[in-house]
Amino acid sequence: MYEARGKSLWGRAAALCAAILLALTVCVRGAYAQEKTVIPLGQAVGIKLFADGVLVVDVSELEDGRSPALQCGIREGDLLLTFNGEKIVSTEHLQKLLRENGDKEAQMTLQRGQAHETVNITPVCGDDGSVRLGAWIRDSMAGIGTMTYYDPESGSFGALGHGITDVDTAQLMSLGSGSIMETTVKAVKKGEKGEPGELKGDFSVQRDVGTVTVNSDGGIFGTVSDADFPARSQAVPVAGAEEVKCGRAVILSTVSGEEIREYQVEIVKVFRDADSTRNLLLRITDPELLQATGGIVQGMSGSPILQNGKLVGAVTHVMINDPTQGYGIFAENMLVRAG
């Protein structure tokens, strides 16, 4: 009887401690977000990412029916890291290593998910002198996105509100290095039902204005290196998730040239799952934006969402069957993922 009661008391004490700890965590998280101020941007930028290794986007047989990659177990989505002990830095570098190796057996290390493996592979020499593995590979990606915020205290920024994934494998790109560049939006492909639109622009490839150091499911993050970039200067508080309400809000976005404009939206629904990156259901209500883009288009990801004078989130996804609607992430969740 005593033993059972003792266990019950210990269980209650443990539950109470856990409840207090959870409450303190929520309070600290909310207080951090409410005390933090950042500059909301809405500025379109060019983004370049280079993988930490090379990504396998497809594995297939060569003309003679052989495939060294298939034979040693390499799969689509694997990240090739080293070749005979030398770190692979690009597709061109791997091709150079293959030419030097020829058709001798070699050793490669790869990353699959969080696990690392070592495989033995024997490349095939073609009649044209090429040395091949039977794997299509990619080492970089580039595109247009939108900067969400800039923190003048640390010089850091957040953008996109979602991670950059490989177009073929849908895998989050393992980041080796990356940068952002100034861009000018030249045209817009309007979104239609079943076919998302996109922003089209030119990068200023001669000059990087920032460095990307994190590619996460909640956005890309890094530091700004150009003192004259970005242009906006008024900081606002970051809203805690509990402050975000259904109703009117605005987004900042660049859909023409380099001009950042404010557009009316409605927050239709709020999802308060702290681990999710789809926290807000949005509807574009601004007639000018609907006329220009048809709603949310690719390249607008990262457009900051403001409500009651606070940064509450960022646009992340468009609904394919209704481009006037899409999703957003809490700004608080972005800051957590930024570290």
Residues with a catalytic annotation lie at 162, 286, 301
**d(Cα 299, Cα 281) in Å, to the nearest integer?**
18
- Of 301, 276, 336, 319, residue with least CA distance to 161: 301
Q: What are phi and psi of 61, to 5 degrees?
A: -80, 150
Instruction: Specify whether the CB–CB gap between 118 and 150 falls below 8 A.
Output: no
Bridge partners (DSSP) of residue 280 are 270, 328
Residue whose structure tokens are 């987004």? 251
Residue whose structure tokens are 């409450």? 23
Residue whose structure tokens are 């090379």? 54
Residue whose structure tokens are 């060569």? 62
Instruction: Specify whether the CB–CB gap between 335 and 148 falls below 8 A.
Output: no
Instruction: Specify whether the CB–CB gap between 295 and 196 falls below 8 A.
Output: no
Instruction: Specify whether the CB–CB gap between 135 and 76 falls below 8 A.
Output: no
Kindly report the CA angle at 327 between 51 and 296, in degrees rounded to 5? 85
- Of 154, 156, 176, residue with least CA distance to 164: 176
> And the tokens for 168?
């073929």
**d(Cα 167, Cα 178) in Å, to the nearest integer?**
17
